[in-house]
Structure formats: structure tokens, C-alpha cells
Amino acid sequence: LCLAKDRGTGVRLALAENHRLSSTAQVQLASDLNTSVKMKLLEESGIMNPLSPQAQQILAQDPSSGIRMGPVDKLFGFSPSASSEEIYLMLASDSDEKVRGRIIKHLVGPFSRGKCSDAVKARLLEGAEDSLREKLDEAERAREMESSAEE
């Protein structure tokens, strides 16, 4: 934990590459003032190295939409990590249309495995055109057919 507070950005960047970070260290790095440290933490996270719910929440609330895109990619992307409904809804309610658009892109993409609850879907569709609702419904049906074919 002391390394996560080190003055040297290089030390914190190196620490962010560690795949055995404690939740406390992840939170510290997710709260870092240096964008590069937060980006490195996001880059190194994934299915085999998941971010703690607390770190996910901090990154999802980051003032920079560029940083908020990271949790979107990790939680809705090709191999989505698990998270809480609260964090999914937080991202689906993002004030930046680009962040919400990135979620939709992941959900309707041809290789998408991302899923979302009805509440997240409803939040994404607030004020959206009917064509978007149709795209999301179609992508969901395709995922269901794919998963039933695998069984």
C-alpha cells in the first residue's frame, strides 16, 4: 500500500501492472491523480485480474470520460468482467453521450458477449429512438440463441 502512495509516477505505474494487487491498493491507484496510473490499472485488469467493486466504482465516477470508458470496455466488452448493478446503472446514466454510446456499441456489436439487465437497458434507452431499442432487442435474441446452441 505504501508503493501506491509513492511520489514517483513510475513506481505507481509499475505497481498498477501487478496482477496480485489488494483491493485497497487498487482503490488507491484508481484514485490516483495521474491519468496514466489509472489507465495502466485498467489495461492490466480483466477476467483473470478483475478490479475490485470499489475500484470499479471510483473509475466509473472519474471526472474524465476517457477514464470512464475503461470500465465500460471491461464490463460490457468482449470478455466482460462481473460488476454490481449499481455500477452498470452508473455507467448507463453517464452524462457523456459517448460513454453511453460505447456501452450500446458493445451490446450490439457482432462479437458481443456483454449483457445488461432490463434496468440498465431502460436507462440506456431513455430518450432514444425506436431503432436503438430494436437493435438491442435483436442483439439480445442473438446472444440467447447462441447460448442455447452451445448447451
Confidence of residue 1 (pLDDT cuts 50, 70, 90): low
**CB-CB contact of 64 with 96 (8 Å):** no
Question: pTM of the predicted model, to two decimals?
Answer: 0.86
Helices (H), 1-129: 9-16, 23-30, 35-44, 53-60, 65-76, 85-92, 97-108, 118-125
The pLDDT score that the predictor gives to residue 151 is: 66
Q: How many CA atoms lie within 13 A of 29 on its CB side?
A: 35
In angstroms, how far apart are the furthest CA atoms of the chain?
53
What's the pLDDT score for residue 44? Answer: 95
Over residues 20-78, the pLDDT tens digits come to 999 999 999 999 999 999 999 999 998 888 999 999 999 999 999 999 999 999 999 88
Residue 146 clears pLDDT 80, i.e. is over it = no
